[in-house]
Amino acid sequence: MRKVLIVGATSTIAEQAARRFAAAGDSLFLTGRNEERLAAITDDLQVRGAPTVAARVMDADDLSAHGATIDAAEAALGGLDTVLVAYGTLPDQTACAADPATAVAAWHTNAVSVVALLTDIANRFERQGHGTIAAISSVAGDRGRASNYVYGSAKAGLNAFMDGLRHRLFKAGVKVVTIRPGMVDTPMTADFDKGPLFASPEKVGADIHSAIEKGTAVCYTPGFWRLIMTIITALPRAIFHRTGL
């Protein structure tokens, strides 16, 4: 049975993945910013079969809080072997383009804080010689596009960081799983018109669980995004620049 730390556990996608872990009998340690929602999710996961569920309020932007939270998770579960980083923000691109501080804040949440967190986790897992590190990135990281390149570039940084981490931890036997979801119908996209490309959080949560179980290096979810992004990244600039992507 796994001992899973989920950072950003009140995310809809994380909650769906957590239900899979709970149903499989895994123990969970949840972090998020909202205590009340963490409590509701804790109860739910216990009913769904998780033998131990504990939670702690943490704002991942506060890098100084990471170490103590990971210590607390290890103490509550008697160790850790799986980490899922599920938090993130989808900033307004126009605001990011207009204001350097907004762009940097988006990078801080989506890239810098994850790098800090995973560096700590990676060192612990490397020492123990096993474990799975997963983080939710995005298909937006595959190519910078006018419509959301600040968010996309933070995710691109995360992708490269995780590629390197995977390379480094291969010898230690630690798996590194990069999740690249397309558009998902969650509160993050509440203001978007939903088209046929939107996936349900249930589907994405199930894909994440299965990618972690299998140790898949890079998981596009739903899978058709691998094809879409292959085409988008292959588009010559002459054409790409004329699109509204």
Partner 1 sequence: MLAYGNGRSYGDSCLNNDGLLIDIGGLDRFISFDPATGILECESGVLLTDILELVVPQGWFLPVTPGTQFVSVGGAIANDVHGKNHHGAGTFGRHVRSLDLLRSDGTALTCTPNDNAEWFAATVGGLGLTGLVTKATIALKRIEGPFMDVDTLRFRNLDEFFAISAASDSDYEYTVAWVDCTARGGKLGRGWFMRANHKPALGQQPDPRKRGGPTFPFVTPISMINGATLRPLNTLYFHRKRQPCSRDTQHFQPYFYPLDGIKHWNRAYGPKGFLQYQCVVPHADARASIAELLERIAAAGAGSFLSVLKVFGDVESPGLMSFPRPGVTLALDFPNRGRQTFTLLDRLDDVVRAAGGAVYPAKDARMGAAAFKQYFPATERFKAFVDPAFSSDFWRRVTGEDS
For the chain, give the longest Cα–Cα distance: 56
Nearer to partner 1, 44 or 92 (CB): 44
Residue ranges of alpha helices (H) inside the chain are: 12-23, 35-47, 66-77, 93-98, 100-107, 113-128, 149-169, 201-214, 224-234, 237-240
- Residue with the two structure tokens 């474990």: 131
The two tokens of residue 105 are 């804040």
- Phi, psi at residue 90, to the nearest 5°? -110, 95
47 belongs to the binding site for partner 1 (CB under 8 A): yes
Distances (CA, A) of 109 to 55, 98, 195: 21, 18, 27
- Regarding 41 and contact with partner 1 (CB under 8 A), the answer is yes
Q: In terms of CB distance, is 47 or 104 closer to partner 1?
A: 47
Residue type, 97: A
Shortest Cβ distance from residue 32 to partner 1 (Å)? 14
| Residue 34 exposed, middle or buried by CB count within 10 Å (0-12, 13-18, 19+) | exposed
Reading the block at residue 241, the tokens are 């620049």
**Residue 151 among the catalytic residues:** yes
Which is nearer to partner 1, 12 or 132 (by Cβ)?
A: 12
Cβ proximity to partner 1, 43 vs 59, nearer residue: 43
Q: Candidates 48, 108, 124, 143: give the one binding partner 1 (CB under 8 A).
A: 48
Give the C-alpha separation, 54 to 39, whole Å: 9
Q: Near partner 1 by CB under 8 A, which window of 39-47, 73-81, 152-160, 211-219?
A: 39-47
Enumerate residues 190-219 that contact partner 1 by CB under 8 A: none
Give the nearest distance from C-beta 226 to partner 1 in angstroms.
Answer: 22
Near partner 1 by CB under 8 A: residue from 44, 74, 92, 213 = 44
In the complex, minimum distance from the CB of residue 114 to partner 1, in angstroms, rounded to a whole number? 26
Minimum distance, C-beta of residue 48 to partner 1, in the bound complex (Å): 6
Q: To the nearest whole angstrom, how small is the minimum distance from the Cβ of residue 21 to partner 1?
A: 15
Residues that bind partner 1 (rule: CB under 8 A) add up to a total of 7
Please name which of 92, 87, 30, 79 lies closest in space to residue 57, comparing C-alpha atoms: 30
Of 74 and 202, nearer to partner 1 (C-beta) is 202
What span, in angstroms and rounded, lies between the C-alpha atoms of 212 and 215? 5
40 touching partner 1, by CB under 8 A: yes
- Candidates 35-43, 75-83, 110-118, 235-243: pick the segment binding partner 1 (CB under 8 A): 35-43
Contact residues for partner 1, defined by CB under 8 A: 12, 40-41, 43-44, 47-48
Please list the active-site residues: 151
